[in-house]
Every structure is written in C-alpha cells, then in structure tokens.
C-alpha cells in the first residue's frame, strides 16, 4: 500500500512543475505602428505595457530615449515625433524585455522593478533572484564605419528595401532610409535627419 505522505509529495511536485509553462506562454504582441503626418503612432502601446507588467510612463521613457525624439501618451497609444519603422520599435521592445523584464536567473517574466537608492533593480517573484538594471550599451565592434551627421554627404551602397519601398542600409546600430533608392545602387546620399538609431537620407544630385 503506497505511503500517503509520498502520494501527497508527488502531487505537490506535479503542481509545481505545471507552473513552469508560464514563461512559455509569455508572448508579446507585435507593435501596431503607423505613420500619421510627421509622427509615428504606436497603437497598442498600453496593451504591451500591461503585458510586460510595467508602467506606461516607464516604457515611454525608455522608448523616447532609444528613438532620440519626443513623444507623449494619448490614452492607450503612444505618439512619437518623427517617422519610425515598425521593425525599429519591435526591436526596442524586445531589448526592453531582455533588460527590464526577464529574470536572468530563471528566465521568467514574473518580475518587478524597484529602486535600491538611485539604482533600479529587477526582482523576480518566481525565484527570488534580483539584479541591477543597466542600460544596454552598443558594443564597439558594432559601431558604424561612417558618421551619420545631418547635412553630411556620404557615398553609400543600398542594401535592401524597406516595407515602404525606400532604400535601406544597416550600419552598426543605425538603420538608414533613402526614398527612391534601389538595392545594389551606389549613391551619394545627403543625411537629412538623425533620430536616435534611425537615419533619413536623400539622394544627392
């Protein structure tokens, strides 16, 4: 006859292992982003902040810092000055999750941000782990081979097309968009605007 204590112990372990799937079900919605005039609208901003269990103001502060622009929260959406590709915002959200949400000890998203003095600390409710949050740094070997400064005229080779049909170049942390350019073309490009890691250029005649 099985030991009642052993039976209870087996049930307890079964219940514990069933909770392991919480991280596997942690799916972040893709940012719904569109251009409206000279601004970029992040339509499901509040939904993603709620999914990450983070304050909208905290996520907004991170995004405007990464984009290098100004922005504001309007209800459930966020609006940024300038035009940004959905892929850029999607990449920033993934980086935010890695740095500010996922526990480095157990890999789960069951965390919260607290302050230890002036240092933000990520504490995990699942395993009890904690670590200071440090802003992601760009590795020196990922730096751009050219300097993108507004007004500069550069010789660039177009690598691909964006979803909007603009010529696109990826250089280090920067993504450069040139309307009217085609992949494979080598062009003189004038840098019209630099917004964080996004650069807007135009073909120089």
Q: Per-residue pLDDT tens for 123-182?
A: 899 888 888 886 655 444 444 567 888 899 999 988 888 777 888 888 877 889 999 998
Overall fold of domain 140-203: OB fold (Dihydrolipoamide Acetyltransferase, E2P) (2.40.50)
DSSP 28: P
pLDDT > 80? residue 103: yes
CATH of domain 33-132: 3.30.70.3150
Angle, alpha carbons 88-90-93 (nearest 5°): 110
Order of strands across the sheet with 111-116? 111-116, 119-124, 130-132
The domain locations on the chain are 33-132, 140-203
pLDDT at 141: 43
pTM score: 0.57
Mean pLDDT of 116-125: 84
pLDDT at 140: 41
Confidence bin at 3 (pLDDT 50/70/90): low
pLDDT at 7: 60
Instruction: Write down the mean pLDDT value for the chain.
Output: 81
The Cβ of residue 42 has, within 10 Å, a number of other Cβ atoms equal to 26
Half-sphere exposure of 118 (CA within 13 A, CB side): 0
């Amino acid at each position: 006859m099985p030991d009642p204590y052993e039976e209870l112990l087996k049930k307890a372990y079964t219940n514990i292992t069933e909770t392991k799937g919480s991280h596997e079900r942690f799916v972040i919605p893709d940012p719904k982003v569109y251009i409206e005039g000279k601004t970029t609208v992040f339509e499901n901003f509040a939904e993603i902040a709620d999914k990450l269990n983070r304050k909208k103001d905290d996520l907004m502060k991170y995004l405007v810092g990464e984009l290098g622009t100004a922005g504001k929260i309007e209800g459930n959406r966020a609006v940024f000055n300038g035009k940004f590709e959905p892929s850029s915002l999607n990449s920033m959200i993934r980086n935010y999750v890695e740095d500010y949400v996922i526990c480095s000890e157990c890999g789960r998203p069951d965390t919260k941000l607290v302050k230890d003095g002036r240092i933000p600390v990520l504490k995990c409710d699942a395993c009890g782990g904690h670590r200071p949050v440090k802003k992601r740094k760009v590795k020196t070997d990922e730096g751009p081979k050219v300097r993108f400064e507004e007004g500069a005229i550069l010789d660039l080779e177009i690598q691909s097309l964006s979803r909007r049909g603009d010529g696109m170049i990826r250089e280090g942390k920067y993504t450069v968009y040139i309307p009217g350019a085609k992949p494979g073309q080598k062009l003189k490009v004038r840098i019209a605007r630099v917004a964080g890691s996004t650069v807007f250029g135009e073909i120089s005649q």
